[in-house]
Amino acid sequence: MTRLVSAVICTSLLVAVRSLSAQGLVPNCTLPFENIKKHHPIDDNCGARGEADADPDPNNVEPHALQNQAKNNFCDTTGNPSLVTFISFTKLQQKLDQKVPAAKTWNREHLPPDRGVLRDIYTTSEGATIGEGTVVTVAGWLMRPRKGGKESCNCGEANGAGKEVIDMHLVMISSSDRENTPECKSVTVEISPHFRPDQWNADTILSANNHPLRFTGQLFYDAAHRPCSGSPPTSASRAPSRVSSCEIHPVYAIDVCTKKSLSSCKADNDSVWTPLDQWQGEE
């Protein structure tokens, strides 16, 4: 009888989790890229909480859900984006580690229960106070795209790992010298599969490899991984090589500079930037 009750409870929980995921993702705002969005099956079968409700540790379920919801946040669009640089990401990590020492102990099984501590971490030279949820704009060079995998925020166990249901990971650097720039100096940019426009694909992005790119999106802190550390800096086990665990995730806009040097491609000079969906390649 006990086994039967346990089986019924487990089945009920599984149905409940699937029901939550099956509700899909419904942003409570107009998407920042509304005019070019594309509907995908994942939009209907994976909600903002992703697979958090299936976390085996009951103490980690809500922190897990909060992290997934942050990854799926398309609606922090109040005001103009704050201009940031690669130095901003270094400072963000330093300030967070000072402000919240517990950040050094976070991992995928032990996520922060209060993400409010991730907001308003650092004030830039432009006078903008930034942290998780701040919409920012950064210009730089694509070092390489990184192959992604199934993730909880995208209901990975249910959806698999096809490109239609995984984030597109981009490694961004401040120099065009890709061969001699350590990846530990990079910043991570992630394009969500939710509503992803057709033109936001690896082929189109790589066609602009000789030009700086500009990304706008919300800052997200990936508490599941630590950034590079040590001298020389090296990545942690099973963690991306990057200068900070702060990412631009999800992406709200992608632009290509019409010039070929970062000094000619100031992030706040809209006249030199073309939306990726309008990019025609080399002229």
pLDDT at 11: 34
Confidence band of 22 (pLDDT split at 50, 70, 90): low
**In sequence order, what DSSP letters do the residues of 253-280 get, joined into one string?**
EEEEESSSSGGG--TT-GGGEEEGGG--
User: In terms of pTM, does the model score above 0.85?
Assistant: yes
> Per-residue pLDDT tens for 206-234?
999 999 999 999 999 999 999 999 999 99
Domain boundaries along the sequence of the chain: 2-278
Give all strands (DSSP E) within 73-205, no chain letters: 82-83, 122-123, 129-130, 135-146, 168-173, 187-191
Helices (H), the chain: 2-22, 42-45, 61-71, 86-99, 156-159, 202-206
| Res 7 pLDDT > 60 | no
3-state secondary structure of 224: coil
- What percent of the chain stands above pLDDT 70? 92
